[in-house]
Amino acid sequence: MFAAAGAGLLLGICAVPAAGQPLEAAPALDGVGRIVAVSDLHGAHRAFVETLQSAGVLDAAERWAGGRTHLVVLGDVVDRGDDSRASLDLLMALEGQAAAAGGRVHVVLGNHDVMNLTGDLRYVTKGEFAAFASEETAEQRDAAYEKLAARVASRNLALTRTEFDSRFPPGFFVHRAAFSGSGRYGRWLSGKPLALRINDTLFIHAGLSEALPDPGLAAINGALRDDLLQFLALRDGLTARGTLDPTIDFHEIPEALGAVDDEAAAAHPDPLVRRLLALRRSAIHSPVSPLWYRGNAGCGPLVEQDRLARLLQSVGARRVVIGHTPTHQRQAWRRLSDRVWMIDTGMQRDYYSGKGAALVLDGGAASVIYQGASQPVPVEELPARAGALSANLTPGELEVALSEGEIIARSATPAGEVLTLKWRGVELEAVFRPAPGARGPFPEVAAYRVDQMLDLAMVPAAVVRSVDGRAGSAQHLPPGLVPEARRAAGEVRVEAWCPLNDQWQAMRLFDALIANATRAAVDVQYLAGSGQVVLTGHQAAFGTDPGIPSQFAGAGLAVNPAWRQRLAGLETAEARGRLLEVLSRRQYEALLGRARALARK
């Protein structure tokens, strides 16, 4: 009997997503006047309110004051902070108030919003659960404990009431019901888009990736979003049936359903379970999802700029506004020739040490107004990066520190002599390598300067410096690097903002350009936080043969227009002057020969 009912439910889910509501607004709007965008509230309700008040969207009574303004919230309303429910309630109230005034409120889903919907509760705070505690009865908690304790006992284990209350704090079960597909917040959130275009601007939580099966706006808000809705409907159905229960986390589902690997999942006798397990592997949960992809924020222009331009053109936009990735110095930035505008300024101060920020797009003008400010300011261009910085120094300041810093300690290592330098109260380390002659060449400095000219941001800052009367290079040694050997061995997981395959491709092009055919694993490291590749070991680079080394013949080097533009820049008078300070003329001319050869690819 259940098989027939189950088949009917499956057919219904596949035909029309049962969870949540239909998409509340068209995913593309034109002719909008003023737009205010904020991102990543993370339960910082007071900061959210103050930011909207600074932007003229809320009045002192916390009611809509934005008139015909369109407010866009780029997701992550929940998690990390205690007051997310208040922000959800405010947004739900503002929708009606804004509409009555001729404005609109748009919420684009973020990864944390979807995590709450699907049961991934790693970042829900006890305060967020506590906001629901008054609605949860002792009888509910007792029944849940008895059910879970019996399940645990069936595996010859025990669950004490103290352990239960710690794992599932007061309010947990009402919270889970509220975020189910049929609950107050789950139903509301599941009616929201994953991406929204207003005028010429795309709004998306994390970023737009060409690695998606279909990165188009219709597909993102269609098939990709449907995966989420079907998952919610299936989970609700299986929970109502008793196959699952609210205590089972998103990551525990395969084990709970007896399908710990792909083979077992595919062979599961229950078609509803098979479909649920398949939807767990949807692209919506992957690193290339618009909820998770950090390449728009983390990849350099040589990797990201051209492909993002193509993607934006395909959705009818000229720029994308993103959150998800907390910004440098916690301020809004624009990058990649103004195609990317980053507005996650760490509104949840207790977690990110930031402040609220509202991007204001009004006609052809763009500005940002920060929490508590009275006037907007321009959105600045993100400064040029370098291969790992220290102590919030800019690349220029870091070069001065390497050149002029006082040597307060030194030690010998296989890579060279490590110097501890002190400059303006800041301490940092550098590796000193003597040059073969007083006038060089200085290959590490040359590699850094070429990296800067390309805007590759992989080679740490390096300068010419004399130590004990010996001319050489002093190269910044960033703290906390993860060696490639440890990553390759699986000892350390590197979560890269810019996909590692993309960074490695850029590394191979760079090595082909500078004729560095002997790069070893010891010369490749990663920044622990961002997974940014850091390259050293260029002593054998910059040979005088203008041909691309034969070792790169089968490397599949792909040179895009951004690369060609930067390669041409190596021939300018400014580039020539800087590189001839650290390379011989023959080395420089050979470098240009390889640049021209690569540009022809």
- Three-class secondary structure assignment of 416-456: EEEEEEEECCEEEEEEEEECCCCCCCCHHHHHHHHHHHHCC
Tell me which of 312, 346, 381 is where a domain ends: 381
| Residue 41 resides in a domain | yes
Q: How many CB atoms lie within 10 A of CB 32?
A: 16
Q: How far apart are CA 197 and CA 30, in angstroms?
A: 8
Considering the entire predicted model, what is its pTM?
A: 0.93
DSSP letter string over 139-167? HHHHHHHHHHHHHHHTTT----HHHHHHH
Residue 473 contacts residue 432 (beta carbons within 8 Å): yes
E strands, 96-191, in order: 104-107
E strands, 82-169, in order: 104-107
Predicted confidence at residue 393, as pLDDT, reads 85
> Can you tell me the mean pLDDT for 208-221?
95
Q: Do 298 and 440 fall within a single domain? A: no
State yes or no: pLDDT of 86 exceeds 90. Answer: yes
Q: Do 64 and 80 fall within a single domain? A: yes
State yes or no: pLDDT of 16 exceeds 60. Answer: no
If one counts the domains in the chain, the total is 2
pLDDT tens per residue, range 295-308: 999 999 999 999 99
Predicted confidence at residue 390, as pLDDT, reads 64
Q: Do 323 and 463 fall within a single domain? A: no
Tokens coding 295: 């390449």
| Residue 522 resides in a domain | yes
Q: Do 376 and 389 fall within a single domain? A: no
Bigger pLDDT: 88 vs 3: 88
Q: Do 453 and 347 fall within a single domain? A: no
Predicted confidence at residue 387, as pLDDT, reads 63
Alpha helix positions (H), 329-375: 349-352
Q: Do 254 and 391 fall within a single domain? A: no
Q: Do 426 and 359 fall within a single domain? A: no
State yes or no: pLDDT of 378 exceeds 70. Answer: yes
Strands of 481-483's sheet in order across: 481-483, 524-527, 533-535
Q: Do 456 and 487 fall within a single domain? A: yes
Tell me which of 334, 358, 381 is where a domain ends: 381
Tell me which of 381, 400, 428 is where a domain ends: 381
- Tell me which residue range forms the domain holding 541: 383-601
Predicted confidence at residue 15, as pLDDT, reads 38
CATH number for the domain spanning 38: value is: 3.60.21.10
Predicted confidence at residue 5, as pLDDT, reads 38
Tokens coding 461: 């800052």
pLDDT tens per residue, range 260-304: 888 888 999 999 999 999 999 999 999 999 999 999 999 999 999
| Residue 108 resides in a domain | yes
State yes or no: pLDDT of 394 exceeds 90. Answer: no
The residue written with tokens 């284990």 in the block is 157
Mean pLDDT of the chain: 93
Q: Do 374 and 387 fall within a single domain? A: no
* pLDDT band, residue 334 (cuts 50/70/90): very high
Tokens coding 57: 């969207």
Percent of the chain with pLDDT over 70: 95
Predicted confidence at residue 18, as pLDDT, reads 43
Identify residue 106 by its one-letter amino acid code. H
Q: How many CB atoms lie within 10 A of CB 295?
A: 26
Burial (Cβ within 10 Å: 0-12, 13-18, ≥19) of residue 419: buried
